[in-house]
Amino acid sequence: MRRLGAARPSGPAVWLALVLAVGVLVVGPIRPAAAHTALLGSSPASGDRLAYSPDEIVLSFAAPVDVRTVGHHLRTADGEEIAVEVATPGPTADVVAFEVPRLAQGTYGFAWESVGDDGHRLSGEVVFGVGTAPGATGSIAGGGDPLATALDLSALAGRVAWYVGLALAAGVAALGIRATTLPGALARRRVPGVLAVLAGAAALRGVVGALIVLEAGGGIGRALGSRPPLWWAAVAVGVWALRWVVVHRPAVLARTSAARALGVAAGLAVLGGTVAGHAPTRPDPAVANAVGAVHVAAAAAWVGPLLVLALMARTPAWRALDDDERRATLRRAMATVARTAGWALAAVAASGALLALRAWDGSVSTSFAWALGIKLAVVAAIAVPLGVLHHRTRDRWSAVPRTVRIEAAGLVVAMVLGGVLVGVDPGWSGGSGEADIALEALLDGTATDPAACADLDVGRAACVRTALEQVLVAEGPQAAIDIVAELSTTDDHVMANCHQVAHDLGNDASECIDDMATALAVEGSVCWSGYYHGFVEARLAAVSTDDLTAALPTFCESAAEPRYSFTHYNCLHGLGHGLMLRVDSNLFDALPLCDATGEEWAIHSCASGVFMENVIAAQQGLDTGGFDDEDLLHPCTAVDDLVAGDCYLMQTSYVLWRLDGDVPAAFGWCDTAPEAHRTTCYRSMGRDISSRAARDPVQVVELCAQGRADLVRWCIDGAASNAVYEQAGTDAADALCAAVTGDLRTACTEARDTAAGIVAAG
C-alpha cells in the first residue's frame, strides 16, 4: 500500500474507535450477505400460506452452491424437527430441492445454510403456513375445545348444504329448461326455493368462517376482512338478487328463462364458492381452483336431475299426471340424465382422483382414507350399477321407480362424504385453524412488535426482522435501533445474534433511506455498530465495478460531518467490509482499494473493516490468502506498516479461534509480535476476553492476568473499551474498573472515559 502524507487524528480515540467494530468476532462468525451466493427466492416463499402440504421445498441461488454442504432443518411451530431429504444431485447447483413428507396444518420454519462456489456462506429461514388463515376451513378432526368442535361441525353443515343446493340447482335447471319435460309451473315454483337454499348455504359458510377467525384470536377486522367471508358474502348477495328478480319481476323472464337463469347462477356459484374455499397462495392456485370447480360442477350435474326426479315423484302435481304423461315426461327426463351422466361421471372420477392423490397421505388408518373409501364404495356399488340399469329400462317406466330414489340417495351420501373429506383432509388437519397471532402476523408481513417474537420456536429471526422493518418505516431508524438495544439485554435471540440483527436492520434501511448522512446520523453503536456496517455494505453493492474506484473517495462524504466522527469512522469501516465482499474476500485485493478513500485516517478506518472481514472469512473456512498456518500473526507481519496496527487490532480473534480459546497460548503469540505492535495485540486480547467472558469483571481480570505482567494494563484497556462499545454505556466498564487497583484501575478508567466520549460524540 502506498503511504499518504495527509495527517490523521492520533491518540487513544482513534485506537479505541477501531476496537469497537471487532468484539463480535469472539462471539462467533458473522454470516455476511455475500452477493455471489444470494438467495434469489424459494418455493414456497417465506410468508406463503399453502392449502396443502408442499411436495418439496426449493431454494434458488444467484450462483451455484455446494449441495453437499447445504445445511437444513425443518421444524414445526413447537420446535419439533421433521426429516427432509435433498433431492438435487451434486456437487453444485443453483437450484436445490428438498423432498418433504406430508405436513399437517400449521406453521413451519425451514432453516438453511449454504456455501457458494466462491466459498461464501449465507443462511436464512423460510417460514410458511400449511392451511389458510384461521377460519378458511373447519376440520372435524379437531379436538378438545367444545367451541372449536361446534364451529367445525357448523362448517361441515355449511359444506353439505352448499353441495345439496348446487345439486338441486343443476337438476331443476337441466330438467326445467324444456317446458315439455316437466310442467312449467312446477319448474318455476322450484327455482326460488333452490336459489334461497344456495344463498342461505353461502351465507352460513361465510358466517362460520368469520366466527372461526374470531375463535382463533384473529380479531374482528381479520374475521370480516379475510377471503372466505368476503367471497361467500358476495355469492350470497348475488344469488339472492337473482331470486328477487325471479319472484318479484317474473315478467322479465320468459317461461323457461327462470330455469336457464338458475343454471347460470349455479355455474357462477360453483366458481365463486371454489375460490372462496381454496387458498389463493397454494402452489398451483389456477389449476387447483379449476379442478375443484370441475369436480363440484360435474357432481352436481350427475346428482341433481336424479334428486329432483326423486323429490318430484312425491308431489301432488306429479301424481295428477296420467300414465301416458308420466311416461313421456320420464322418457324426456331420463334422456336428459343420460346425456349428462356419462361425461359427469368421467369428470367426477378424473378430478376426484387428482384431488384425492393431492390430499391423501396413503395411510388407510386415517379418517380421511376411511371417508374416501366409503365414498368410492357407495359410488361403485350403488350409483354406477343403478345408473346403468335406469338408462337401459327407462322407456317402460310410468312412475319413478324406487331404484332411482336409491341411486339419488346414494349420490347424496357421496356428496355428504365429500364435505367430510374436506374437513379431515390431511392438508387441513389440526383443528379449526388456531394459530399463534405472532406467527399469523409474520406470515402476513405485519409483525410490528419484536418482543412478541420471543416465544416462537420457528421464524423468530424472520419475525424480529419483519417487526424491526415495520418500525423502521413507520418511526425511522433510531426507533428501530433503540429497540435492538433494549432487546440485546432481554431477548436471548437478539443477545446471541446482536450484530447480525443490527446488520440486517442496516440492510433494510438502505432500501428505504436515500441519503446516507440521514441514515447514519443516528446513535447506532449498539451491537458493535452492526446497523452502520449493514447499511454501508448494502449501499456499496449498488456501485458498479467500473465506477467503484472513482466512487470511493467521496463514498462516505455525506457521513463526514463532522469529519473523523464515530459516524464517519463507521461508514469507512463498513466500506472495508463491503470491499472484501466485492473482491471475493481476497485481503490483498481489498487493501489497495482502501487507498482510494484518500487521506490516511480514512485508509486506517477502511482497513479495519477489511481485516475484520478477513477474520470472518477464515472462521467460515474460506481461502482468502490472508493467513498462514505456521504464522498465526500473518497477514499482520506481511502488510504495509501503515495498516499493520489495524491488522493486529483484529488478529487475536483469529488466533484465539485457531487455538480453540487457549488464552495463554494466544498471549504467547502477542509476545512474538514486533515491539511496536505488542500493546495493540494485548489491547485486542482484552477486547476478545471481554466478549468471551460476557463482560464479567472477575473473569476478565483472571484471563488478562495470564499475559505478561508489564502488558496486562493494555489488556484491561481493551476490555474496558469493549464493555462500553458493546452496551453503548459504562455500567459493565465501571464494574471492571472497580475490580482492579493501582495502574490497572488508571488504565481502565482512562479507556472507559475515552470510549464513552467517542460514543457520546457520535
What average pLDDT score do residues 171-194 get?
62
Q: Is the pLDDT of residue 398 over 70?
A: no
Q: What is the pLDDT of residue 213?
A: 66
Q: Is the pLDDT of residue 597 over 70?
A: yes
Cβ neighbours around 101 below 10 Å, total:
12
Reported as a pLDDT band with limits 50, 70 and 90, residue 218 is: low
What 3-state class would DSSP assign to 110?
A: strand
Q: What is the pLDDT of residue 11?
A: 39
Reported as a pLDDT band with limits 50, 70 and 90, residue 604 is: very high
Contact between 272 and 238 under an 8 Å Cβ cutoff? The reply is: yes
Neighbour order of strands in the sheet with 85-86? 39-43, 56-66, 92-99, 85-86
Lookup result for grid cell 375460490? 275
What average pLDDT score do residues 585-602 get?
90
Contact between 390 and 404 under an 8 Å Cβ cutoff? The reply is: yes
Q: Rounded CA gap, 221 and 141, in Å?
A: 27
Q: What is the pLDDT of residue 203?
A: 85
List the beta strands (DSSP E) in 140-235: none
Q: What is the pLDDT of residue 142?
A: 42
Q: What is the pLDDT of residue 187?
A: 52
Q: What is the pLDDT of residue 104?
A: 76
Q: Is the pLDDT of residue 636 over 90?
A: yes
Q: What is the pLDDT of residue 7?
A: 35
Q: What is the pLDDT of residue 715?
A: 96
Reported as a pLDDT band with limits 50, 70 and 90, residue 666 is: very high
Q: What is the pLDDT of residue 36?
A: 40
Q: Which of 132-141, 661-670, 753-762 has the highest mean pLDDT?
A: 661-670
Q: What is the pLDDT of residue 71?
A: 79
What average pLDDT score do residues 629-646 get?
92
Q: Is the pLDDT of residue 23 over 60?
A: no
Reported as a pLDDT band with limits 50, 70 and 90, residue 470 is: confident
Q: Rounded CA gap, 614 and 619, in Å?
A: 9
Reported as a pLDDT band with limits 50, 70 and 90, residue 444 is: low
Reported as a pLDDT band with limits 50, 70 and 90, residue 635 is: very high
Q: Which residues contact 595 (CB under 8 A, 6 or more apart)?
A: 1, 2, 4, 603
Q: What is the pLDDT of residue 397?
A: 67
Q: What is the pLDDT of residue 677?
A: 95
Contact between 412 and 405 under an 8 Å Cβ cutoff? The reply is: no
Reported as a pLDDT band with limits 50, 70 and 90, residue 707 is: very high
Give percent of the chain above pLDDT 70: 73
More confident residue, 461 or 252: 461
Q: Rounded CA gap, 384 and 15, in Å?
A: 88
What average pLDDT score do residues 357-380 get?
64
Q: What is the pLDDT of residue 70?
A: 79
Pairing of strands 49-50, 121-130: parallel
Q: Is the pLDDT of residue 31 over 50?
A: no
More confident residue, 508 or 209: 508
Element (H, E) at 61: strand 56-66
Q: Rounded CA gap, 373 and 157, in Å?
A: 21
Per residue, the 3-state secondary structure of 451-481, as one string, reads HHHCCCCCCHHHHHHHHHHHHHHHHCHHHHH
For 365-399, b where at least 16 C-beta lie within 10 A, e where not — what string?
ebbbbebbeebeebbeebbbebbeebeeebeebee
Q: What is the pLDDT of residue 491?
A: 85
What value does the mean pLDDT of the chain take? 75
Q: Is the pLDDT of residue 427 over 50?
A: no
Q: Is the pLDDT of residue 678 over 70?
A: yes
171-180, 279-288, 344-353, 561-570: segment of lowest average pLDDT:
279-288
Contact between 505 and 472 under an 8 Å Cβ cutoff? The reply is: yes
Q: Which of 242-251, 427-436, 528-537 has the highest mean pLDDT?
A: 528-537
Q: Which of 24-38, 603-617, 728-742 has the highest mean pLDDT?
A: 728-742
Contact between 680 and 645 under an 8 Å Cβ cutoff? The reply is: yes
* 222-263 residue pLDDT tens: 667 766 778 788 888 887 877 777 777 665 555 456 666 667
* 327-337 residue pLDDT tens: 777 777 777 67
pTM tops 0.75, yes or no: no
